[in-house]
Structure 1
């Protein structure tokens, strides 16, 4: 296989803080056999063995460990029929409960989105831990009225943003690969590569169905209906034609720039940005930031925030939005100061000519978890 050095690019301004360990991980991934490009986005931060907020292009082989254990994780956006003026976040925060198995037709929901039952249906419609959430939002400002209208959005309606993945399914798929191959690659067109990709694609479909089910539960919980606007995956590996050759595009916490508009959320105490990708995507691996990106580790966030705030103080934000999170550790770990400034992250993408801001969205109610039920 050719030994051409991989292109390494970090899209971040001097004003953006990128941890040295994240850069080391990016460079280490760029040295993997077959790697042709490693791109760090403005939300780049260290992950478990590989950085988050990055995209990688390889030739002839691909690396499941670069995708990680939450295959199919992504963001879905719904426009609700409920006017923003009728929001009742305090009432909803008291009663909204997404824990436990969904009581609806799991097989039917999966089938409607091209997925099949896989043994993890007890988790269908649940948010999960970490940085996952379901957030009711209002439109703060419309910056591109034509693009906003093209998505059939209305500025006076509430929106619902869901960030979740394949729950235990993706983890089981990665574990099976690691048990046999460690962090090694799979050669394209091999039987093992085909087997992994079949399971991978199933997890991507399952995760999309999970987000749709979460949306269904939230809408039922607040007494409204809605329609899907977009759904994008930010943990995946897919074939992609690039420079006249087939490559394998790995995204680890990286939103696609080749599938239409995406939402880039901030912390639960910040705006989210609805953006329109620009350009042909070749210079940045057809990928964008998927969020604000962590600034502090979870351990550091717990220690720092416990010194500064009581748990109750973190259940409201500077936007006067409400937060549902009954896991105290998670409440501290996911506190807004633990994340980078989303306006800087999106500003870097704008300055690089990669996106145009369509609208900004403000939090009304952020749902994390009712209790430790993972």
Structure 2
């Protein structure tokens, strides 16, 4: 049993963390070969592994810590549409057919990104389920005008956030790895680890391509163009110092600005990581608000209190497109932590400087009926 792992919690009040998530984090810290574990302010219990965490080992790789949605992350786009021209009803009507397979040049898109054509499939260019979404937003407040200006951003444009990952590809990679080696840590120098890392890196690239195609599809549906401000990955394993850093639902603090979303009924934050002292948090940040309730709990609690129609409008007057009757309850704003508190925790720890706050206008989940 590992007895020398350093475990750090980032938060002003550690008693607010879910005990189950802490138990999961502690179990990970006890893995043989684990060197350092960090729980971020959005920490919550996952499927055996705490989400909102980073794990570092000097010489081992654990595919199950990265999880099945390898490369899942967040892309932020500044569109050509002025906020004054945004009409929810018009946008709603135009967002059709986007759950269907992309009819574009799938193989060309993959090959141009350095990926083999056999990774083509009908899921490329689609959002997927769970907590994935596309959200249109506007700037609510510019907190750091000088930094906002340095990034050459415009405050009068509609912005678009795309949250998706590697879809079934990441799932297949993890499943195959678990069947081959189980949940044991792989020595990074061994062929099995190198083989996994190669497939992992392909899935990360696939996820980036997927987000770009999703963004293009949504902008094309609305007749818009846009500029990608950032694309960050939340689930990955990468070289870090002399070892290996696993992020499970954690934004990187070493890739420039990040966007940290709230629930679909709350603000999102564009922030600059603070380099000084970032090592204490393994150069990682909260990737969002983090769940407060499990999916089953959220459905059980909220389906008795609300109708579906009640959840199609948020407290910020934004609109929600989600025609999966279960998912709209599972992903309700009440199921998530307060994003302002998560941001305040990161600021108190000296990990970020907020650049701007974004208000949701329309969140798209799915048009599919189950």
TM tier, smaller: over 0.9
Residues 171-209 of structure 1, C-alpha deviations (whole Å, 9 max, x = no match): 000000111221111111211111100000000000000
Q: Shift in Å at residue 116 of structure 1?
A: 3.3
2:349 and 2:317 map into 1 onto residues whose CA distance is 33
Q: Could you give the per-residue CA deviations for residues 231-259 of structure 1, whole angstroms, max 9, x where no partner exists?
A: 01010001111xxxx11100000000000
Q: Which residues in structure 2 correspond to 1:227-238 (within 5 Å)?
A: 227-238=227-238
- Report the Cα distance in structure 2 between the residues aligned to 1:110 and 1:27, rounded to whole angstroms: 39
Selected match of 1:289 from 286, 297, 302? 286
Q: CA deviation at 1:4?
A: 6.0
How many residues are paired up?
Answer: 368
SS of residue in 1 equivalent to 2:117 = coil
Q: Corresponding residue for 2:352?
A: 355
Alignment partners' CA distance in 1, 2:361 and 2:124: 24
What's the TM-score once normalised by structure 2's chain length? 0.97
2:254 aligned residue: 258
* Pick aligned residue for 1:364 from 361, 365, 369: 361
1:49 Cα deviation from its structure 2 partner: 1.3
CA contact (8 A) 1:93 1:323 kept: no
2:113 aligned residue: 113
* CA positional deviation for 1:50: 0.7
Tell me by how many angstroms 1:282 deviates: 1.0
2:204 corresponds to: 204
In 2 relative to 1, CA 141–16 (structure 1 residues): closer, same or farther, beyond 3 Å? farther
Larger CA deviation: 326-335 vs 273-282: 273-282
2-side partners of 1:94 and 1:21: how far apart?
42
Residue-by-residue CA offset, 1:293-326 (whole Å, 9 max, x unaligned): 0000111100111111100111111121111100
> Any residues of structure 2 matched to 1:1-374 within 5 Å, and which?
5-14=4-13, 17-97=16-96, 98-241=98-241, 246-280=242-276, 281-372=278-369
* C-alpha displacement of 1:147: 1.5
The answer for unaligned runs of 5 or more in structure 1 is none
Structure 1 counterpart SS, 2:12 = coil
Over aligned residue pairs, what C-alpha RMSD do you find? 1.5
Helix, strand or coil at the partner of 1:35: coil
CA contact (8 A) 1:257 1:288 kept: yes
CA distance in 1 between partners of 2:109 and 2:135 (Å):
21
Deviation at 1:90, TM superposition (A): 1.9
Q: Does structure 2 conserve the Cα–Cα contact (< 8 Å) formed by 1:326 and 1:370?
A: yes
Which 10-residue stretch deviates more, 154-163 or 177-186? 177-186
CA distance 1:337–1:326, shift in 2 (3 Å): same
